[in-house]
Amino acid sequence: MKPRFSLLLTIIVLLLPGAARADFDHDGDGDIDLVDFGDFLVCLGGPEVEVSPSCADTHDGDGDLDVDLFDFGLFQEAFTGPSSAITATQLAGNSLDGYPFFEYVKAFNENATVEVAIDPTRFPQIVGQTCDIHVVQAKTSGQWWVDPSLVDVTPGGPQTETFGGSTIQENTFSVTGPYDLDSDAGIGLGVGYDVVCDCDQDGQLGGGDYIDGQSNEAGLYVVHDTTQPGPLTVVETQYSVGPVFGI
């Protein structure tokens, strides 16, 4: 009797409808990466805290109708990173009339233009892609990890360009004009910016994108006129050391 009862109970359990396991793939792109992590943080509520149906469907990994640290553990296990890597490379610089036709630089005067270039002989996978070029406030690698969103700071917003051809000259674009970027670093020298080619055009730094920056050093710095007075008050004091040293 007992074996029959156990078999019957097993069949009943198998036939009962169960909650589908959350896959954590918020954007449905087939990987679990920083974009999905950002959405997980939005949904994270804690034990027995009711979440929206969309959060439960995507991030309730253990099926207990909340999104908590147990689900975070499952998210970590599922994390794959982007299906294609982020490419860190120099992008910002100036055109040259002769070979190598472009120079990558770190510092720009506030009255200079900023150009972006990719050499298709180094990155053939860029050919045929249409990307949004963003100039954003510089972030450290840790800040990019937490917040991969792209907030363009140029007057015209992100610039959409199609990459093609076989030379760097064909893939050079002007992205800012004189004085378009803030150079006021207070008592520092230069305001840092990162440049991103967002090639899936999702407004996030992710797989398949190109970035000049993403480290503790910015992709470029815009510098004010250093011949002009700085922000600190200058105090002038007259003194003499003659009596002390017998001069």
Tokens of 199: 């090639």
Tokens of 208: 């398949």
* Alpha-carbon distances of 91 from 47, 173, 196, rounded to whole Å: 45, 10, 8
Give the chain's residues under pLDDT 50.
1, 5, 7-19
Please tell me the predicted confidence (pLDDT) of residue 7: 47
Tokens of 31: 């990987």
Other residues' Cβ atoms within 10 Å of the Cβ of residue 29? 16
Please tell me the predicted confidence (pLDDT) of residue 83: 62
**Beta-bridge partner residues of 212:** 195
Question: Model's pTM, two decimal places?
Answer: 0.67
148-166 pLDDT per residue, tens: 999 999 999 999 999 999 9
Residue 223: φ, ψ to 5°: -115, 135
Contact between residue 117 and residue 163 where contact means Cβ atoms under 8 Å apart:
no
Classify 56 as helix, strand or coil: helix
Please tell me the predicted confidence (pLDDT) of residue 194: 98
SS3 content of the chain, % helix, strand, coil (to 5): 25, 20, 55
Task: Name the residue ranges covered by the structural domains of the chain.
Answer: 19-78, 87-223
Torsional class of 52: left (φ above 0), alpha (ψ -120 to 50), beta (otherwise): beta
Residue 124 to residue 167: CA distance in whole angstroms: 11
